[in-house]
Structure 1
């Protein structure tokens, strides 16, 4: 009975989050407010129904978090540098997405760093991935959670972003299962987006 209830809550939470994400990307003028609200709802689901673990020391999650965040930024930056050799149109889609939805004010950066990055990891890795593990083996749960995470960007129509989100979801998902530490993937996520949008922006 409990498993049936858990899967029902999971499905309803995903539907609710996807609907909110659709409206977030559709309403460009208030995107940052709607997206932040959506992630706060996801965070609430994570705290209510998820499994948030932290089984390692502070120095270890900082070391691994900074390391993996930097590596992920490097992979994204490498992919971006290769785009002109593959397709100018693909490069234009990246520029258009960043121009439309990328952080452009101090308030956006505050929301991104203090709320959004943390909430995304709590919901997708701390809640969705952990719920899926009740019904399938861990590697499949990580992959499916990464697919569901990537689909959250599909409503924007930015397919390169979907691919990047899937790869990021895979890495963060297995990292969480390996180290059993939510702070690791939150730090990694924060490092990645800080490099990506603030310190070493691609565009």
Structure 2
């Protein structure tokens, strides 16, 4: 009897291992799937809610990391209480931290320059993502914005995005948004930053912004 039970268990295990692709659904609405990716070199695992909306999935395009959910990164002032900065060299104004689980990283932010009323100014800004384990670093293009005397200017930066190396998955990452007065420091000239979207994302969203875009 024990021998028959062992044989039955082995047959059941072999049967479970061979059930690929695998799909569970109710009333034609998907609940859970394990399906081959586009070139059949691996599997895409997906979990849906009761209405068939994708909730959790691996990234089929990169074949590693999450496509869903996106990882929202809380951003905080790097120097508590500081809104505007008159610094004449690059300093982080907003900072955040995350464990990288998605295949890509995506961000955009608003950059404000304000003239103190004596001279105009030029402000510059960029963002920097760092894998604190491997040292891998990604820096966005530096964007500059000028304004006249006694005036304020605003610039939407990005979206900028990057595909994160597979070796960085699960690592602790830092993200910093830098800003400074790059021309005509002093005279109460200052810059400020407002984070808009800072998140781990999938390839489908991010790939259009790998080169980066900036509004006029």
TM-score of the pair, normalised by structure 1: 0.23
Asked which structure has the greater CA Rg, the reply is 2
Greater relative contact order (Cα 8 A, min sep 6): structure 1 or 2?
A: 1
TM-score of the pair, normalised by structure 2: 0.22
